[in-house]
Structure 1
Amino acid sequence: MAVNLYDHANELEKALRQSDEYLLLKKMYDEVNNDESANQLFQNFRDIQLQLQQKQMSGMEISQEEVEQAQKVAALVQQHEKIARLMEAEQRMSMVIQDLNKVIMKPLEELYGSVQQ
């Protein structure tokens, strides 16, 4: 009997939304979003990250000035209590997703052997 993987994926999505990790992440995100100065700093940080990633992916050079600007903003972000808590919650959620990905990939690893990254 065939299994509908999408039904299971939708169940996993629902479970993720109810997980402690997601609920904490949402709470921390809302705290940053509702604090104008924190939100502005966080958005600036995200914009700089995105710009640098896009440059890197397109093979463009990242200047020393851009690196220094990114480091300064990252330092400010890490010193902001609300943003630091949000980033910790993001890290925890990311670890959960990595763990789930390992579980999902297990049948393929068993079939093909462990894939080296």
Structure 2
Amino acid sequence: MINIYDTANQMEQDLRKTDEYQALKAAYQDLKADEKAYACFNKLHEYQGKLQQKQMQGETITEADFKTLQDLSQEANQYPSLMALMEKEQAINSLLDELSKIIFSPLQDIYHEA
């Protein structure tokens, strides 16, 4: 019998060894070393969380919410270390999307059988 959790645990360990993960980890350390950029990152991250929570509770995201998010994003653009982190996040998200497609392909096969 196959233990899919062993495979998942191995994948978790392998992910930590990828270039994308190592680059993200290094970018995060660089960001933390830049006090102002790290504070901006925390504000942006916290606000995004508030908007997600608002959305999950069925509340409307207002123009003011979008304006605040836009302002925080523009502030983030001023910090090279924060921009580098976002770039590395995109790279690892691309990797995770590819892995997700592979993992879920058996389910897609079920629904696309002729």
* Shorter-chain TM-score range: over 0.9
Aligned-residue CA RMSD (Å): 1.3
Residue of structure 2 equivalent to 1:106: 105
**C-alpha separation between the residues in 2 aligned to 1:18 and 1:67?**
37
% of aligned pairs identical?
35
Q: What is the TM-score when the length of structure 1 is the normalising length?
A: 0.90
Q: What is the TM-score when the length of structure 2 is the normalising length?
A: 0.92
**C-alpha separation between the residues in 1 aligned to 2:96 and 2:61?**
30
Amino acid of the structure 1 residue aligned with 2:30: E
Q: Mapping of 1:1-117 within 5 angstroms?
A: 2-113=1-112
**Is the partner of 2:72 in helix, strand or coil?**
helix
Q: Once structures 1 and 2 are overlaid, which stretch shifts more, 64-73 or 11-20?
A: 64-73
Amino acid of the structure 2 residue aligned with 1:42: F
Deviation at 1:32, TM superposition (A): 0.8
Deviation string 1:16-59 (CA, Å, 9 cap, x unpaired) is 00000000000001111122111100000001111111112212
**C-alpha separation between the residues in 2 aligned to 1:67 and 1:112?**
38
* Structure 1 alignment gaps of length 5 or more: none
Deviation at 1:79, TM superposition (A): 2.7
Amino acid of the structure 1 residue aligned with 2:88: A
Q: Once structures 1 and 2 are overlaid, which stretch shifts more, 72-81 or 39-48?
A: 72-81
Amino acid of the structure 2 residue aligned with 1:97: L
* Structure 2 alignment gaps of length 5 or more: none
